[in-house]
Structure 1
Amino acid sequence: MLNELVIHNLVIVEHARLCPGAGLTVVSGETGAGKSLLLDALEMISGERVQGAIAGPWADAATVTAVFQPDHQRCVRIEAACSVPASDDTYILRRKISKTGRSQSWINDTPVTLATLRAAADHLLEIHSQHEPLRLSDPAVQMELLDQFGGTTPIATAYLAAHRLVGELGRALAELDGGSRESVKELDYATFQLREIEALQPRRGEFAELEARHSLLTSADQWRSLADEVVQTLTEDERSSAASLARFARRLAEAPDPRLVDAARACQQALEAVRDASAWCADASERLHADPGEIGRIEARMNAYHELRRKHGDGDDQLFAAWDAIVLRLKDLSSIGERRSKTAGDLAAATAERASIGKSLAKKRTDQFAKLSKSVHGHLSDLSMPKAKLSLTEEELSEPGPLGSVHQEFLVRTNPGMPEGKLRDIASGGESARIALALAEALAEQDRMPVLVFDEVDSGVGGRLGAVIGAKLAHLARDRTVLAVTHTPQLAAAAERQYLVRKQQGDKETRVAVCEISGAERLREISEMLGGGRAALDQAKALLAGTAR
């Protein structure tokens, strides 16, 4: 229900506060008094686009705040729609529009986008205005209500899931097909990269070994010459180090001084070391021969390493990581054909499933519509539209949509001999509101919208029909808020609460006042709505007394 509506600085409404609560609340006032501003406020809080300047002269912005208290299940749905949780099963919607046109929105004091505000409001209130298309003109809303009425919501949910799956699989298949040409190119290139690496068969640490071997081979002559010089100097010359050390060792060994004998032993050790060094150098000299063939092979392998490192990164870690990545990518690319085949099969199965569910859904909706139209016709007869007819148009879709594989939409004919048409095109403002009321009555148990707003639902009707409309609105308002803008006293008398809108004009400004009336003040207002005078006052008393009973 709508517990509170607060309007501040909206055009010529400086401040207004309404507390409708559960039941039927009516808003009355003279033509031009400003009743439409209340509808503007409700449309503003519903997230509708606002045309023109709406901020009044008393502040920098127009602000509307609405306090709703829906049932717990609806709170869960609202949270799913707007991602803002309820506070004690209460939702407070607030919107501010500045004089410059800047719009700001909040839900439970959490800043939200206008789209989010609209998503929440869609679950909270429904406005039937003469100047706006009926919400019920939307085929999506019609099918939702028909599903609720006929108990086909689970089938509709299953169909929508199947439809979304078809869309997802179709996009996946298109992506696979669209990327197939590029995938072939990528497959060829990845295959080339893998062959290039596998042709080298790299080994961790090998490049460093090749560098060391290459350095040794390319300087072999230099090192062999040095080794020969060492051998010559240490052991082969007549005055070689070895000869001198041998002579010194023999002579010092004969000395009477122990220290000289120690020196002789040291010379002998040095001699052995020199001979070892000479032998090693001689051996190295024999082996140090620059083999041009080996150098060429080493350089070719090093060049291959350089090329791979240039492409994949300098170092063993980068090269081997690239190798692993190429192998994995090839596996993935090679599986595209398999994935495409599987996706195409899944798409065919999902399409068939959607078609089956869609056919069943369309038939059940057709069957249930017959029951709904019968109920609606009864209510329309009560509302002095006995010749009005509600029908269902059906058209097989070449491409199924989210609502079904068959386009189904309500059509209406308000008068005999006139063509059927869509609700928004055929019915007048008053007729639209009465059709909406008839549908609301027929769907009362299924469509539990917390707040229903009717603008001039009694347009062009007399007192008897006004009373009927009032009774129907009161019936709808048993456990929710129904707000009606009216000029009919019989309807006004049926309400639990009545607000009066008055325009106050001074020399320098005009403002609208909205106040709840009761008792003698309400009696006087209904009397004025009846035309004024003693007879009107007596009739107003009778209307209010009848409603009280």
Structure 2
Amino acid sequence: MLTLLKIRNLALVHELVWELGSGLIGVTGETGAGKSVIVGALKLILGERADKSLIRTGEDSCSVEAVFELSDPAEINAILEDGGLDACDDTQLIVRRVIGTTVNRQFVNDSPVTLSLLKKIGEHLVDLHGPHDHQSLLSTDRQLSMLDAYAGAESALTAYRQTYRAWREKSAELDELRHAESASEQELDLLRYQLEEISNANLKPEDESDLEDRWRRASNASRLLESASAAAAALNGEDGILEKLGEIQRLVRDLQKLDPSITERTGSLETATLELQDLEATLADYVGELEIDPAEAAGLEERVNLIETLKRKYGPSLQDVLARRDAAATRLDNIENRTEKLETLEKELAAARSAVEGSAKTVTAARKKAAPKLAKEIAAQLKDLGFKQSSFEAPLLSLTEPGSQGMESVDFQFGPNPGEPLLPLRQIASSGEISRVMLAVKSALADQDATPLMVFDEIDANVGGEIARAVGRKMAALGTRHQVLAITHFPQVAAIAAHHFVVEKEVTGGRTRSRLYQVTGETRVQELVRMLGGGGEQARAMAVSLLNP
């Protein structure tokens, strides 16, 4: 769950440090008090693009930091590792955004990340819904994913996708060969020439650097021999360094006989002498190994020139040259053996299609079994939310050709009133209705949804009375399996929350700030009274009754 949210210099918020608990968390406050800042901060954490106008007036930057405690970090760790980041050391994940006037940055566990990677991570952390935030629910692809989660069809769908990808790749390969233009004799000659030229070079990418080293050594053998011999002579020749060191050693031994205490100070002389003797021996060996072979140098130079020529023609790298060889070989093979290849590919495509259809049957069976159960569960949830005589169905529509998600689609149908035809969710005009349908779907899928935090931003708009209380109860039920954050104007919802926070504006030092604080006991009663529309004993009694139903 989200355990900590820090906001600094975002809109009206100067500094907020908010520790959150589990269950249903209610956030209330007057219109314009700053509740939307919390949603805005969470959207930044989810990877939405930032607007510099969010920075508090007079400041250079704003920041948002969120600390999540993950019950199972495996899914998040997989995303982190795919993005080249280290996995979480424990179950804690820290996400931070910094929005500046000149540069924006985002971090996960103190490592910089791209916005796209942050968005991918955010999809697994927070599920945010507002009064106009239902596009995912209206998408038939998203509906199909919900049905598959309910059906437990993920493994069957993974197997299907593997066969589907193989079938599509084989189909594309066959189409390419079928529609390939016939090659001219000039193109065939060019392909044969390129293939022969590159193949005859017997290229090995790993030998390139070694070849250049050998050529450089062979072509500079005379200079190497001259320099190494001169260095060896300077060490061990007449009047060389080692001869002088020998004289110094004799003088030092005389000193040591007269004053043994100097022995410790002159020990480095012996070490230096031994090291220089080793160096002289090494140089002598090196001189012995050097061979001046003009023929070898010429051969190596010819080989280096050949590789450079091929890289200029087909490069720029040796890998590009080899890739060109392979492409020419494939193209030539396809042209010269087109008929045989077509027959082989047609057989392979038929086998791939058969595999797709076989794996699709398993997915279809799971969906057909689960669809009526899911529809029945959502319909029951809708009745709890005030749609006493509504109908809900999840009809499966067969596809004529395999698709990326299987051999069928689904289009959730909803009828709020008896006697009226059921309509697809995208045709529901009322935001109040679609909000409650979304809550019903989320409630039905609560056990399959692994998102740690669900945020409902005033989805109880356009409802009231008992329906608002039913919405609150449904959110509270979700709170037993998820952390749920409800930003609401309804006292019926706020009273059901396990934790109740209030956002209000205050003026300090001539500046307006938003602050957030938790209300309990009498303070919470007073906030509910305000939400009910005013003071008086009747409003107070109503507030107390909401807290103690």
User: What is the TM-score when the length of structure 1 is the normalising length?
Assistant: 0.68
Once residues 482 and 33 of structure 2 are traced to their aligned partners in structure 1, the CA distance between those partners, rounded to angstroms, is 27
Assess if the C-alpha contact under 8 Å between 1:144 and 1:153 holds in 2. no
Number of residue-to-residue matches in the alignment:
424
Assess if the C-alpha contact under 8 Å between 1:9 and 1:58 holds in 2. no
SS at match of 1:53: helix
1:65 Cα deviation after fit: 1.6
Per the alignment, residue 261 of structure 2 pairs with none
2:149 equivalent to 1:148: yes
Per the alignment, residue 19 of structure 1 pairs with 19
Q: Kindly tell me: are residues 431 and 38 of structure 1, through their superposed partners in 2, closer, same or farther at Cα, counting changes over 3 Å?
A: farther
Once residues 539 and 195 of structure 1 are traced to their aligned partners in structure 2, the CA distance between those partners, rounded to angstroms, is 91
CA distances 1:334-390 after superposition (whole Å, capped 9, x unpaired)? 476455544443233222322333354335323311111111111111110223333
Q: Which of 456, 462, 465 lines up with 2:464 in the alignment?
A: 462
Once residues 131 and 183 of structure 1 are traced to their aligned partners in structure 2, the CA distance between those partners, rounded to angstroms, is 60
SS at match of 2:394: strand
Per the alignment, residue 493 of structure 2 pairs with 491
Q: Percent identity?
A: 35
Per the alignment, residue 69 of structure 2 pairs with 69
Once residues 326 and 56 of structure 2 are traced to their aligned partners in structure 1, the CA distance between those partners, rounded to angstroms, is 70
SS at match of 2:53: coil
1:51 Cα deviation after fit: 5.7
The AA in structure 2 aligned to 1:9 is N
Q: Kindly tell me: are residues 81 and 434 of structure 1, through their superposed partners in 2, closer, same or farther at Cα, counting changes over 3 Å?
A: farther
Assess if the C-alpha contact under 8 Å between 2:147 and 2:370 holds in 1. yes
Once residues 416 and 123 of structure 1 are traced to their aligned partners in structure 2, the CA distance between those partners, rounded to angstroms, is 38
SS at match of 1:457: coil
Unaligned runs of 5+ in 2: 198-301, 308-320
SS at match of 2:449: coil
Once residues 507 and 410 of structure 1 are traced to their aligned partners in structure 2, the CA distance between those partners, rounded to angstroms, is 54
Assess if the C-alpha contact under 8 Å between 1:187 and 1:330 holds in 2. no
1:179 Cα deviation after fit: 6.0
Q: Spell out the pairing of 1:85-484 with structure 2 (5 A cutoff).
A: 85-99=87-101, 102-176=103-177, 181=182, 187-189=188-190, 333-334=332-333, 337=338, 341-416=343-418, 420-484=422-486
Once residues 537 and 107 of structure 1 are traced to their aligned partners in structure 2, the CA distance between those partners, rounded to angstroms, is 46
Once residues 421 and 45 of structure 1 are traced to their aligned partners in structure 2, the CA distance between those partners, rounded to angstroms, is 35
Once residues 43 and 97 of structure 2 are traced to their aligned partners in structure 1, the CA distance between those partners, rounded to angstroms, is 11
Q: Kindly tell me: are residues 535 and 177 of structure 1, through their superposed partners in 2, closer, same or farther at Cα, counting changes over 3 Å?
A: same
The higher radius of gyration belongs to 1
Per the alignment, residue 501 of structure 1 pairs with 503
Once residues 82 and 418 of structure 1 are traced to their aligned partners in structure 2, the CA distance between those partners, rounded to angstroms, is 50
Once residues 391 and 327 of structure 2 are traced to their aligned partners in structure 1, the CA distance between those partners, rounded to angstroms, is 66
Q: Kindly tell me: are residues 2 and 134 of structure 1, through their superposed partners in 2, closer, same or farther at Cα, counting changes over 3 Å?
A: farther
Once residues 476 and 489 of structure 1 are traced to their aligned partners in structure 2, the CA distance between those partners, rounded to angstroms, is 18
1:144 Cα deviation after fit: 2.0
2:30 equivalent to 1:30: yes
Once residues 408 and 96 of structure 1 are traced to their aligned partners in structure 2, the CA distance between those partners, rounded to angstroms, is 41
Assess if the C-alpha contact under 8 Å between 2:76 and 2:121 holds in 1. no
Once residues 62 and 139 of structure 2 are traced to their aligned partners in structure 1, the CA distance between those partners, rounded to angstroms, is 30
1:395 Cα deviation after fit: 4.1
Assess if the C-alpha contact under 8 Å between 1:152 and 1:361 holds in 2. yes
The AA in structure 2 aligned to 1:120 is I
Once residues 452 and 411 of structure 2 are traced to their aligned partners in structure 1, the CA distance between those partners, rounded to angstroms, is 25
The AA in structure 2 aligned to 1:133 is H
Assess if the C-alpha contact under 8 Å between 2:22 and 2:483 holds in 1. yes
Q: Kindly tell me: are residues 169 and 464 of structure 1, through their superposed partners in 2, closer, same or farther at Cα, counting changes over 3 Å?
A: same
Assess if the C-alpha contact under 8 Å between 2:21 and 2:499 holds in 1. no
Once residues 132 and 326 of structure 1 are traced to their aligned partners in structure 2, the CA distance between those partners, rounded to angstroms, is 53
Assess if the C-alpha contact under 8 Å between 1:134 and 1:423 holds in 2. no
Assess if the C-alpha contact under 8 Å between 2:131 and 2:461 holds in 1. no
The AA in structure 1 aligned to 2:161 is L
Q: Which moved more, 1:352-361 or 1:443-452?
A: 352-361
Assess if the C-alpha contact under 8 Å between 2:140 and 2:411 holds in 1. yes
Unaligned runs of 5+ in 1: 197-308, 315-321
1:106 Cα deviation after fit: 1.6
Q: Which of 506, 514, 517 lines up with 2:516 in the alignment?
A: 514
Per the alignment, residue 5 of structure 1 pairs with 5
Q: Kindly tell me: are residues 87 and 545 of structure 1, through their superposed partners in 2, closer, same or farther at Cα, counting changes over 3 Å?
A: farther
Once residues 196 and 490 of structure 2 are traced to their aligned partners in structure 1, the CA distance between those partners, rounded to angstroms, is 89
Once residues 398 and 419 of structure 1 are traced to their aligned partners in structure 2, the CA distance between those partners, rounded to angstroms, is 26
Q: Kindly tell me: are residues 61 and 331 of structure 1, through their superposed partners in 2, closer, same or farther at Cα, counting changes over 3 Å?
A: closer
The AA in structure 2 aligned to 1:34 is G
User: What is the TM-score when the length of structure 2 is the normalising length?
Assistant: 0.68
Q: Kindly tell me: are residues 466 and 502 of structure 1, through their superposed partners in 2, closer, same or farther at Cα, counting changes over 3 Å?
A: same
CA distances 1:109-135 after superposition (whole Å, capped 9, x unpaired)? 121111111111111110111132343
Q: Kindly tell me: are residues 387 and 524 of structure 1, through their superposed partners in 2, closer, same or farther at Cα, counting changes over 3 Å?
A: same
Once residues 506 and 187 of structure 1 are traced to their aligned partners in structure 2, the CA distance between those partners, rounded to angstroms, is 82
1:396 Cα deviation after fit: 4.1
1:485 Cα deviation after fit: 0.7
Once residues 465 and 544 of structure 1 are traced to their aligned partners in structure 2, the CA distance between those partners, rounded to angstroms, is 17
2:543 equivalent to 1:540: yes
SS at match of 2:143: helix
Q: Kindly tell me: are residues 524 and 74 of structure 1, through their superposed partners in 2, closer, same or farther at Cα, counting changes over 3 Å?
A: farther
Q: Kindly tell me: are residues 416 and 105 of structure 1, through their superposed partners in 2, closer, same or farther at Cα, counting changes over 3 Å?
A: farther
